[in-house]
Structure 1
Amino acid sequence: RVAALVLAALLTGSSPVAAGPLPDEFLGKFRGSVTGGVGEVSGDFDMMSAAKRNGFTMSWPQNSGTGFEAAKDRENVFRAPSEGKLIEGAPAFWARLADGKLLVYAMRIDSQGGYDIYTFVYTPVENGLDLLIYHLRSGSEPLESRARLARHDR
Structure 2
Amino acid sequence: MTNEELQLLVEEVSLQFFQKPFRHLAIFNSRLKTTGGRYILQTHNIEINKRYLEQLGREELIGIVKHELCHYHLHLEKKGYKHQDKDFKNLMMQVGAPRFCRQLPDRPKTNRSAKIYVYSCLGCSLVFKRKRTVNVKKYVCGRCKGKLKQITVLTSE
For Structure 1 versus Structure 2, the TM-score category normalised by the shorter chain is: under 0.3
Larger Rg: 2
Higher strand residue share: 1
TM-score, length-scaled by structure 1: 0.28
TM-score, length-scaled by structure 2: 0.27
Higher helix residue share: 2
